[in-house]
Amino acid sequence: MADDSYSEPLVPSPSPSPTKTIANGHTEVPNGSIDEDDDRRDDPTDDEKALERRLRLKVDLRLCTIAGVLCSLNLLDSGVISSASVTSMITDLDLTGNRYSISIFIFTIASIAFQLPSTIAVRTFGPRIWFPIITFSFGLITMCTAFVTTWKQMIALRVLLGMTMSGVYPGLTVLISSWYPRKEQQVRFAFLQSGQVIILATGSIVNFGLNKLNGRGGFKGWQYMFLVQGLITCIIALATRFWIVDFPENAHKSFYFLTPEERKLAVSRIQHDRKDVEAEPFTWSTVLRHAGDIKVYGFAALYFLLNLVSTSLSYFLPIILQSGMGFSSDKAILLSAPPYYYAVIPVLLSSFLGDRYNTRGPIIAFNSLCLILGFCLLGFASDTTARYIGVYLATGAYISNWAALSAYQANNVAGQWKRAFTAATVTAFNGAGGIAGSYIVRQKEAPRYATAVWISIGSHLVILGVVGLFTMGFWVANRRQRAGKVLLEGREGFRYTY
């Protein structure tokens, strides 16, 4: 275990400078007050490079791994209920009409309502306390879902599931962004997404096997799905207590993690990048004052538009394969898995390029164009193979854009509470997109699902427009910062990444 007695102050207090705050995270400064060489760093020695590589590896292995597992639980829920939707669950619970869609969006409503408080709780109580609590609760409720007998009971448990999982994604977004400089973040979010989709894809195959247990021990196949995956979640929650790490300034609280030298380097990397390691004392005004920054809602709109598609595919893919392409129930469950395994390739490749060239907008635009092509194949091709290829393209594109958008918003805000507010806001809008997405796949429109296809294409055309506006705005802001006319995000040397 790392030496906990190390007590040297890790975060130097920044000296105040005469500034004038203006809208949208910009602060006016006197001409010439920003150092033109603020991006310059002294060339590190070989020993310093080796220390930094060791630090990154340790954080990758301890944080990105468990973050991928925890985030996968939300997707795993969609995998379980979507796989169960092509079994007897629909008739057993009388989830007829729009009741199945209600069971999906009610989860999202509850999640939206609790996202900001739960994200604040991650910073207040610490990741090593909060994440195990909410993850264990999620697993326990998932297990209880196996014993519901009516659609009303299912709806009630879905509300509780949404409450417990509300803080996982935004909380982990804040935690990951707090450990890495901005130029390293997209690959780490890609690791998170890769872990998610691998577990989701594997979950589809596990669900196929569990469905074969239908009738054994007095349980239906769909009940085994909820029981087994709920139990796995509870076990993961117990491991999370020792596996996950705290924020950089509290790294000494983590179990067998960093040496004092590594902790000091972790803090200095973030201080150099954006000078926001330490959070201000919590008050609601400290958090909510960031509601005046309009770009937060631009990022939120991007998440809303993206989740229109991800919800329709993740929750309804087995139904699309069964009703839209004519596959049997078992084949629909099995064929849901390969597109997610494929998605690991584009998400890692695009994220590596994004970090390598420190760019975000072009990556998001390329992924959006790939998704549009995928939905064109899914909606308009006559050949089943071509339509299935469209599923691959669309799935790979939207998962790649999760990583890209996570880095996009995290790269362009500074300050711990602003980061928490932004993460909670974009995740709430993401949830609202999920509500809308749960209604765009209409069974009566099988096999073409015209509404889902056109809305998905249109949403990504809008994404292209929003990213274009951001790019122009960030370019202008950075130009003013270089000229010494504005202090971005209240941090000297901070520039937007686009």
Q: Confirm whether 410 is domain-assigned.
A: yes
Would you mind telling me the total number of residues written for the chain in this entry? 498
Structural domains counted in the chain? 2
pLDDT for residue 419 = 86
Residues 6+ apart with CB under 8 A from 169: 71, 74, 427, 430
**Are 445 and 324 part of one and the same domain?**
yes
Contact criterion met (CB below 8 Å) for 14 and 275 = yes
Contact criterion met (CB below 8 Å) for 404 and 350 = yes
- Dihedral, CA atoms, 396, 448, 377, 83, nearest 10 degrees? 30
Q: Confirm whether 27 is domain-assigned.
A: no
Q: Give the domain extent around 80.
A: 47-271
**Are 320 and 222 part of one and the same domain?**
no
What values do phi and psi take at 27, rounded to 5? -135, 125
Confidence of residue 136 (pLDDT cuts 50, 70, 90): very high
The 3-state DSSP class for residue 487 equals strand
- Angstrom distance (rounded) from CA 489 to CA 195: 32
Please give the angle made by the CA atoms of 286, 290 and 296, to the nearest 5 degrees: 150
End of a domain among 241, 271, 301? 271
- Angstrom distance (rounded) from CA 467 to CA 308: 17
**Are 404 and 431 part of one and the same domain?**
yes
pLDDT for residue 25 = 62
pLDDT for residue 21 = 45
**Are 226 and 301 part of one and the same domain?**
no
Q: Report, as an integer, the average pLDDT of 94-118.
A: 85
pLDDT at 452 over 50: yes
pLDDT for residue 5 = 35
The 3-state DSSP class for residue 167 equals coil
CATH code where residue 297 lies: 1.20.1250.20
pLDDT for residue 438 = 72
The amino acid at residue 457 is I
DSSP 8-state symbol, 64: I
The amino acid at residue 301 is A
Q: Report, as an integer, the average pLDDT of 442-462.
A: 84
Confidence of residue 2 (pLDDT cuts 50, 70, 90): very low
Least confident of 15-29, 89-103, 184-198, 299-313: 15-29
- Counting residues of the chain whose pLDDT is more than 90, the rounded percentage is 40
pLDDT at 202 over 50: yes
**Are 368 and 230 part of one and the same domain?**
no
pLDDT at 74 over 80: no
Q: Report, as an integer, the average pLDDT of 162-181.
A: 90
Q: Measure the N-to-C terminal CA separation of the chain; round to a whole number of Å.
A: 40
Contact criterion met (CB below 8 Å) for 339 and 464 = no
Q: Report, as an integer, the average pLDDT of 131-156.
A: 93
End of a domain among 271, 302, 333? 271
Q: Confirm whether 10 is domain-assigned.
A: no
Confidence of residue 42 (pLDDT cuts 50, 70, 90): low
Q: Confirm whether 320 is domain-assigned.
A: yes
Which two tokens mark 483?
Answer: 């000229």
Least confident of 261-275, 355-369, 395-409: 261-275
- Counting residues of the chain whose pLDDT is more than 70, the rounded percentage is 89
**Are 100 and 170 part of one and the same domain?**
yes
pLDDT at 138 over 70: yes
pLDDT for residue 194 = 87
What values do phi and psi take at 52, rounded to 5? -65, -40
Stated as kind and residue range, the H or E segment containing 28 is: strand 26-28
pLDDT for residue 314 = 66
- Angstrom distance (rounded) from CA 206 to CA 336: 12
Q: Confirm whether 159 is domain-assigned.
A: yes
pLDDT at 433 over 70: yes
- Angstrom distance (rounded) from CA 139 to CA 157: 12
- Angstrom distance (rounded) from CA 125 to CA 143: 26
pLDDT at 39 over 80: no
Q: Report, as an integer, the average pLDDT of 94-101.
A: 82
End of a domain among 240, 271, 302? 271
Least confident of 11-15, 244-248, 432-436: 11-15
Mean pLDDT, the chain, whole residue set = 84
Q: Report, as an integer, the average pLDDT of 308-322.
A: 73
Contact criterion met (CB below 8 Å) for 263 and 252 = yes
Burial class for 44, CB neighbours closer than 10 Å (0-12, 13-18, 19+):
exposed
Q: Confirm whether 26 is domain-assigned.
A: no
Q: Confirm whether 323 is domain-assigned.
A: yes
Confidence of residue 26 (pLDDT cuts 50, 70, 90): low
Least confident of 78-87, 265-274, 318-327, 480-489: 318-327
pLDDT for residue 27 = 56
- Residue 262: half-sphere exposure toward Cβ, Cα within 13 Å: 21
Which parts of 279-418 are beta strand (E)? Answer: none
